[in-house]
Every structure is written in C-alpha cells, then in structure tokens.
Chains A and B, each alone.
Chain A
Amino acid sequence: SQQGEEDPQALSIQEGENATMNCSYKTSINNLQWYRQNSGRGLVHLILIRSNEREKHSGRLRVTLDTSKKSSSLLITASRAADTASYFCAPRKNTGFQKLVFGTGTRLLVSP
C-alpha cells in the first residue's frame, strides 16, 4: 500500500473562486483516486485517473496526473459553499490487494 500526501493542509477561498490541491506519492501506480469527506455526505469517491491519462474532467472537477513527477492535482472550478470538505488522494499500485491509505488531506473552506 502507499499513501499520498496532500498539499496544502488547508485552503480557504470565496465562492466562485477556483481551488487547487495537490497530491504527491512515491512509487509507480496503476491509478490515483480522489475522495471527498464532508459532514453531510460522508466520504465519497470523486474521480479516478489512470496512469496512462494526463488529465480528466468530471463536472467542475479537473484532475491532472504527472507520473514522471509522481504528482497529481485536483482543480475545483467556480467553487461553492457545498464544496467545503476534506479532500484525500489515494494512489493505487498495479497488483494485488491494497488498502486505501489516506494522507492528512486538504481541508477546503469555501465562504459565501
């Protein structure tokens, strides 16, 4: 198993602004997943990007992956108060069972 490290630890923005958070990891991966946790909906899978993909979109989310730098970024455009949550990345290796190992996450606060 391997753990991603999210950065920054905390981010505070106004509604309508974009939020960018980053994830770094240490070994080769099959894919990288992003999860969000807030008090209302609990822990939810947001998006999965495979190692052969460089960018992926889902609604207001844009994820990039740079396997040469072992890093990923999650961009939330036109943020809303409902985006207030902790965001975790989960790098997944190529084979076998692997548990999700969460880092400390990025705590995003979107103010109205």
Chain B
Amino acid sequence: DAMVIQNPRYQVTQFGKPVTLSCSQTLNHNVMYWYQQKSSQAPKLLFHYYDKDFNNEADTPDNFQSRRPNTSFCFLDIRSPGLGDAAMYLCATSRETGPGYEQYFGPGTRLTVT
C-alpha cells in the first residue's frame, strides 16, 4: 500500500560527509518534490522534477543536488552537510503540477549531522 517510500527513515552523517537520501513512488506520478523541514517550521520546497526536467528553487543552496534516474526514484544528495542541514527531508509526488493536484508525501528522512 505504501505509495511514497523514503529510505532511510533516520540518517546520521558527519559534518562534511556526503549523504544521499532516497525516495521511491508507486503512483507513477510525473512530478517529484523534495522539501526540507526544520524543527518547528513548515516544510520548504528545495526543488522538483517534472519527468526528467529539474527545477531548482532560487534559494536552495548549491550544497543540495538531486537526481531522478527514472519515474519511480528520486535522490537528494547533500554534498557537504553542515550542522544547519539537520532537518526532516520530505519527498512528495503529484500527477501534474497544476493547482488542482494534491501532493502525496512520504514519511520523511530525519537527518542528523554530527
């Protein structure tokens, strides 16, 4: 039944050590999103893919990259994590990008940076 799956659920990495978070979907949706949610804050969009087209938010740090090798999978790469990157990372999907489409979220990966 799981529709948007994120692995791992908890990730601990060291300061400056690259880390990759993964997301997969069984919904066959065109759009996949990555959000960052820091403690007691609302989720904030980092970037999204429409099919293979990558769309970066203007204020997303260069430290964050993403890959979408196929429809089902999307990865978030943090090249050199800093302490400020500790957060919950949420993956979401939607069928299309129009206003009438809801987003389906995964359970998130909580990243700790030591």
A: residues with CB less than 8 A from B are 29-31, 33, 41-45, 48, 50, 88, 92-95, 97-105
Contact = CB atoms under 8 A, between A and B. Distances in A.
Interface in B75-109: 90, 92, 97-100, 102-108
Nearest to A45: B102
A42 B100 contact: no
Interface of B: 33, 41-45, 48, 50, 55, 57, 90, 92, 97-100, 102-108
A79 B33 CA distance: 32
Given A99-B57, A102-B42, A94 B99 contact: yes
A34 B43 CA distance: 14
A31 B107 contact: no
Interface SS of chain A? loop
A19 B109 CA distance: 30
Contacts of B107: 41-42
A105 B21 CA distance: 26
User: Mostly helix, strand, loop or mixed at chain B's interface?
Assistant: loop
B42 A98 contact: no
Contacts of B103: 45, 100
Contacts, number: 51
A45 B100 contact: no
A104 B39 CA distance: 12
B100 A88 contact: no
A72 to B, nearest CB: 15
A42 B99 contact: no
B10 to A, nearest CB: 13
A2 B51 CA distance: 24
Going nearest first, the 8 A-B pairs with the smallest beta carbon separation are A92-B99, A102-B42, A43-B105, A30-B99, A45-B102, A97-B97, A42-B107, A99-B45
Contact of A42 (B33, B41, B105): B105
Nearest to A91: B99
B100 A30 contact: yes
A45 to B, nearest CB: 4
B42 A88 contact: yes
A50 B98 CA distance: 13
